[in-house]
Amino acid sequence: MTLVARSIDPPTSALAAMPLALTLVESASLQTLRRQAANLLRRQLGLAMVECLYIDGSGRWVGRDDAAERFDCADFSHPYAHVIRSDKALGLTVTEARLRLDHDGFQAQIASLGARQRLQLRPLRAPDGRREWLGVLLLAGDPALFETLFDAPGMAAFEALLCRLWARLAREHGERQRSRVLEESLSKLNDGARRQALADRLGTRLLGRSSAMQTLRSHVVRAAETNLAVLLQGETGTGKDRVAQAIHELSARAQAPFMAINCAAIPETLLESELFGHVKGAFSGAEQNREGLIAKAHGGTLFLDEIGDMPLALQAKLLRVLESGRYRPLGASDERCADLRVVAATHQPLREQIKEQRFRADLYYRLGQFPITLAPLAERRDDIEILAQAFIGDFCAREERGDMGITPAALRLLYRRDYPGNVRELKNVIDYACAMTPPGADIGVDHLPFEQPLEKSSVATSENDTAGEAGAMVPNEIDDLRQALREIESSIIRQRLQRFGGNRAQAAQSLGLPKRTLAHKCQLLELDTK
């Protein structure tokens, strides 16, 4: 592109500019376009300095691609603010600029220029549409050149091409950025939706609608995505075994084996060989090589149930497997490689065991890379109904029995238990009740393995009365005195409240109790009098 009109062959002068124009057109990014434009001007015109500055998306700052410093568009101590505000080109000598403008950044920018040189600042705006601001062109050079340069058609064509390409690239860049943001948020959304779908699918294996169960399911999904060691803590029967299996099945190791061992159920002397395996002759009775569970779980998951019962000597060996991924079978001279994820479970307070030096603190922290605590059933009574229904369904399918339900009174009784054995206890209760229920009938209060109702007639009424009371219990065979007393107390308070139409003050007075004490008891016994 010939920027200043020269006396060359007129028909070809326009074509001579083509390679220069191509340099600009081929710029793939805004930064390249600005750099190429500045280089072209500097080289073609023999200028002392050319800078192509951009105005950022907020419209507040003028910036340079190769410098961190930005110029505030509202700060008139530099000339960019003047050019943008007036939307007009500005020409001045370097001497004038040094005298009149005291912006440190701008002074640094022109510091290398000679005092006699001239500066020209030109606003750049998109040529079409809303004519949005693009940037500012700063040129510095011989004053004689500047006298004609800005009236030359070549210069105007150059600026027009630069602005057109700049606007197009800016639009494309904006679109690309928008679609990247969209893609990112979509993939986040998909991630969230995928996790939610997995957690929902888990809902058929880890039953429960309480918020504790919902949180548990989402933790299981998260743990399954990683290779971290998982430590499951919770009372007996809360579902630790089920959770361990679910983590394995949802993980990338699902196709490899899931090997489980109960550290409390195996004699100490055998545990090491069960886990690590042994070679022939390692001890008397070791008549041949035997693979341990660590080898069998290769690529998969090793579930160490009741980890709190693992002997200290073995804890040290397990820690080594976790840290180095290597182990040595009993009697073997060489080490083997272990590729597995460990899930450990315990109902014991491991921290207490650490204090008593019965459990290694370093192993505790290594096993608990992803700790999960399972809540006791008594703290998530919302799950009782769904679990009970599922266990009834399991029983009927297993025993090939027709459909069976449960009466509201029996369900209420289930709600009132404390379940020290948690879900396992509930399952046993339901299995027993199902067996006691005649074909075609629903499980009633009489079929539950609890003490018989004190007032049979009142229970019989309540079987059909969802708002009624279960009645006081006759403790025929008491094997838990505290529980029996709680049930009797609960039954008496219920009846009394019923007699006084739910009036706690009257019920309390009739029982010789302060109203506050009765309210407290109602809360403890979960008696809703409303």
Using CB under 6 A as the binding rule, whether residue 492 contacts ligand ATP is answered as no
Query: Which residues lie across from 135 on neighbouring strands?
Result: 54, 124
Which residue type is seen at 188?
K
**Choice between 208 and 292, CB closer to ligand ATP:** 208
The residue within the footprint of ligand ATP, chosen from 31, 44, 236, 461 (CB under 6 A), is 236
Q: Give the Cα-Cα-Cα angle 440, 444, 447 (nearest 5 degrees).
A: 95
Q: Taking Cα atoms as reference points, which of 441, 386, 251 lies closest to residue 394?
A: 386
Residue with tokens 């070549």: 154
Using CB under 6 A as the binding rule, whether residue 463 contacts ligand ATP is answered as no
For residue 442, the minimal CB distance to ligand ATP (Å) is 21
Distance CA 413, CA 417 (A): 7
For residue 231, the minimal CB distance to ligand ATP (Å) is 13
Q: How many residues bind ligand ATP (CB under 6 A)?
A: 16
**Choice between 374 and 518, CB closer to ligand ATP:** 374
Distance CA 512, CA 509 (A): 5
The residue within the footprint of ligand ATP, chosen from 135, 237, 444, 471 (CB under 6 A), is 237
**Choice between 42 and 222, CB closer to ligand ATP:** 222
The residue within the footprint of ligand ATP, chosen from 424, 483, 498, 511 (CB under 6 A), is 424
Answer whether 51's CB lies under 8 Å from 64's CB: yes
Which of these segments, 70-78, 239-247, 263-271, 468-476, binds ligand ATP (CB under 6 A)?
239-247
Q: Taking Cα atoms as reference points, which of 132, 133, 82, 134 lies closest to residue 106?
A: 82
- Residues between 6 and 35 that touch ligand ATP (CB under 6 A): none
- Residues between 291 and 310 that touch ligand ATP (CB under 6 A): 305
**Choice between 63 and 393, CB closer to ligand ATP:** 393
For residue 347, the minimal CB distance to ligand ATP (Å) is 5
- Which of helix, strand or coil describes residue 233? strand
| CA-to-CA separations, 259 to 256, 274, 321, 347, in angstroms, rounded | 10, 11, 16, 20
For residue 204, the minimal CB distance to ligand ATP (Å) is 9
The torsion angles phi and psi of 52, rounded to 5 degrees, stand at -110, 105
Using CB under 6 A as the binding rule, whether residue 207 contacts ligand ATP is answered as yes
Using CB under 6 A as the binding rule, whether residue 423 contacts ligand ATP is answered as yes
Which of these segments, 140-148, 235-243, 479-487, 491-499, binds ligand ATP (CB under 6 A)?
235-243
Which of these segments, 6-14, 352-360, 407-415, 419-427, binds ligand ATP (CB under 6 A)?
419-427
Using CB under 6 A as the binding rule, whether residue 240 contacts ligand ATP is answered as yes
**Choice between 204 and 357, CB closer to ligand ATP:** 204
Which of these segments, 109-117, 423-431, 432-440, 519-527, binds ligand ATP (CB under 6 A)?
423-431
What is the contact mask toward ligand ATP in residues 187 to 206, using x (rule: CB under 6 A)? -------------------x
The residue within the footprint of ligand ATP, chosen from 241, 418, 442, 489 (CB under 6 A), is 241
Which residue type is seen at 169?
L
Q: Give the Cα-Cα-Cα angle 210, 211, 217 (nearest 5 degrees).
A: 95
Using CB under 6 A as the binding rule, whether residue 239 contacts ligand ATP is answered as yes
204: Cα separation from own chain's centroid: 22
Using CB under 6 A as the binding rule, whether residue 208 contacts ligand ATP is answered as yes
Phi-psi region of 448 (alpha: psi -120 to 50; beta: other; left: phi over 0): beta
Answer whether 173's CB lies under 8 Å from 30's CB: yes
The residue within the footprint of ligand ATP, chosen from 34, 103, 217, 347 (CB under 6 A), is 347
Q: Which two tokens stand for residue 330?
A: 């009993």
Classify strands 341-346 and 336-337 as parallel, antiparallel or unpaired: unpaired
Q: Which helix (H) or strand (E) holds 138?
A: strand 133-141
For residue 392, the minimal CB distance to ligand ATP (Å) is 13
Classify strands 370-373 and 230-233 as parallel, antiparallel or unpaired: parallel
Residue nearest to ligand ATP (CB): 239
One-character DSSP codes across 311-332 = -HHHHHHHHHHHHHSEE--BT-
**Cβ atoms within 10 Å of 149's Cβ, excluding its own:** 19
Binding site for ligand ATP (CB under 6 A): 206-208, 234, 236-242, 305, 347, 423-424, 427
